[in-house]
Structure 1
Amino acid sequence: MLAFARAADTGRLGLFELTAAPARFTVRSTLDRTRPLAELTLDRTPARLVSPDGAAVLARVRDLACTALAAEQVGAAERALEVTVRYAQDRVRFGRPIGSFQAVKHRLADMRTAVDTARALARAAAAAGAPPRLAAAAKSACSQAFSYVAGEMIQLHGGIGIT
């Protein structure tokens, strides 16, 4: 297991490999069962220094994580759009599918634009190797697009009546 910690002798952030079992490992419950979470408590756990420049390593890990999260958000937004389009084709009001109404078409088109724009930025960040500013921009834009598409999905599924 790897951990970031401050070196006792220099006080600098470093990356360490734990060479013994951690003091305490506690599994935590979360709302999202697809994302397990645990708490690792270290107390004088023996470790070997892997990289003395932990700040640079941590920054790189952050940039890669932002890029991965951006890609995940694009996938979730895409799925939300797919489900909403299918619903708009199946749901009938006033004798025709709600997807045939211009107001619904415009909302679906705006959702598609948000997903496509977010996808382009996430792909650019991944293709460029997740440079810091592009990774941050991708995460920000994809978070915003996912939130927007999810909100529209709720509304177009009739969420206004249950909120």
Structure 2
Amino acid sequence: MFTFTEEHRALREVLRDYFADDPSWAGLLSDVGADAILFDRADATPIDVAILAEEAGAALFGGPIVPALLASGCADALGVTERLAPARDGALGVAANVVGAEPVWNAEGGCLILLTGPGSVALLDSADDGVRITALNGLDPTRPLGRVRAGGASAIAALRGPAADSLLAGICPLVELAIAAELLGVAQRVLDGTVEYVRQRVQFGRTIGSFQAVKHRLADLYGAVELARSAVYGAAWGLTAAPADEQTAIDLAIAGALSRDTALTATRAAIQLHGGIAITWEHWAHRYLRRANAVVSLTGSAGGYRSRLADLVDRRDTHHG
């Protein structure tokens, strides 16, 4: 039976306080100690990763959490653990193409770049003369995206063939968990902000939160967020206790689907329940709407995860039938 420990609660509190006050990537690693979560796979658990990603999503943090997970997961197999030291210290950034194709997340000057594809994993240094990074304009300006061209570059390390595919298959579940947790953080934050707003906004002599239609809408959103939270941390516990179990793969597909549906639903509802103010560029609601839609567009839809879930359940039932 999974429950949050005192250490988990303390981690969440520290992260929430840090993200509330002008956070930086280097500070997150050194001041908060998130380097141990992102780069020490033997010590940190998937639950720690989920808490970090959730709080980062709630703050719309644009640092390379997911690329760092990918790079650290590949380090041993590529034999480049020592080369990640500047990234772990925050002196270098980390970039990666999260789903095996462009764009490359957090592709900026001064970074290590992990490029992945079918049968291919390669680690590059942006300082290499053969590396060219072109900034891309994305829907979510809080997360840098870029196009990387490295035709004349010398890779720090590379892996080809089935070994590369096997390596990525082992890392992907943790990356998918982090993305689902980020979307959970987005959904929770917009729900909290919307509840606070409807408690204060007065219309026809009453706070709009007292209107039955608004109450029902928020109750539905609360239920959806809590269901997504159970799915995300159920998957995190599965990856901690039984990472190779078929039920863990099922739980992760459920978390992927519910987190995407919930983030999109909650951010759209926040725009609607805030009324006209929410469509102004000065308001925070549109930034969360952008993050939710950008992540889903870059990492796959809820429908894709439901299709995966159907396949997993069908295989499980066939195997046990």
Counterpart of 2:133 in structure 1 is 26
Q: For 2:136 and 2:124, how far apart are their aligned partners in 1?
A: 25
Counterpart of 2:205 in structure 1 is 95
Considering fraction of residues, name the structure with more helix: 2
Structure 1 4/148 Cα, relative in aligned 2: closer, same or farther at 3 Å?
closer
The answer to whether the 8 Å contact 1:22/1:40 transfers is: no
What is the RMSD of the two structures over their aligned residues, measured on CA atoms?
2.7
Q: How many residues align?
A: 155
Counterpart of 2:272 in structure 1 is 155
Structure 1 17/99 Cα, relative in aligned 2: closer, same or farther at 3 Å?
closer
Measure how far apart 1:139 and its partner are.
Answer: 1.5
Question: Which has the higher mean CA deviation after the structures are superposed, 47-56 or 120-129?
Answer: 47-56
1:40 aligns with 2:152: no
The TM-score with structure 1 as length reference comes to 0.79
Q: For 1:107 and 1:49, how far apart are their aligned partners in 2?
A: 50
Considering fraction of residues, name the structure with more strand: 1
Counterpart of 2:250 in structure 1 is 133
Q: For 1:39 and 1:57, how far apart are their aligned partners in 2?
A: 23
Q: Unaligned regions of 5+ residues in structure 2, if any?
A: 1-112, 280-321
The answer to whether the 8 Å contact 1:4/1:15 transfers is: yes
The answer to whether the 8 Å contact 2:201/2:207 transfers is: yes
1:17-70 CA-to-partner distances (Å, cap 9, x unmatched) read: 458936222141324232112222222544444575111222233322221111
1:62-116 CA-to-partner distances (Å, cap 9, x unmatched) read: 3222211111111111111111111111111121111112211111111100111
Structure 1 30/62 Cα, relative in aligned 2: closer, same or farther at 3 Å?
farther
Counterpart of 2:174 in structure 1 is 64
Structure 1 22/69 Cα, relative in aligned 2: closer, same or farther at 3 Å?
farther
* 1:85 corresponds to which of 195, 205, 212: 195
What amino acid does structure 1 have at the position aligned with 2:187? Answer: A
Calculate percent identity across the aligned residue pairs: 36
Measure how far apart 1:5 and its partner are.
Answer: 5.6
Structure 1 135/25 Cα, relative in aligned 2: closer, same or farther at 3 Å?
farther
Structure 1 5/74 Cα, relative in aligned 2: closer, same or farther at 3 Å?
closer
Higher gyration radius (CA): 1
What amino acid does structure 1 have at the position aligned with 2:218? Answer: L
Question: Which has the higher mean CA deviation after the structures are superposed, 129-138 or 62-71?
Answer: 129-138
The TM-score with structure 2 as length reference comes to 0.43
Q: For 1:16 and 1:153, how far apart are their aligned partners in 2?
A: 41
Q: For 1:5 and 1:112, how far apart are their aligned partners in 2?
A: 38
The answer to whether the 8 Å contact 2:130/2:154 transfers is: no
Measure how far apart 1:157 and its partner are.
Answer: 1.3
Q: For 2:230 and 2:150, how far apart are their aligned partners in 1?
A: 41
Measure how far apart 1:140 and its partner are.
Answer: 1.4
Q: Unaligned regions of 5+ residues in structure 1, if any?
A: 7-12
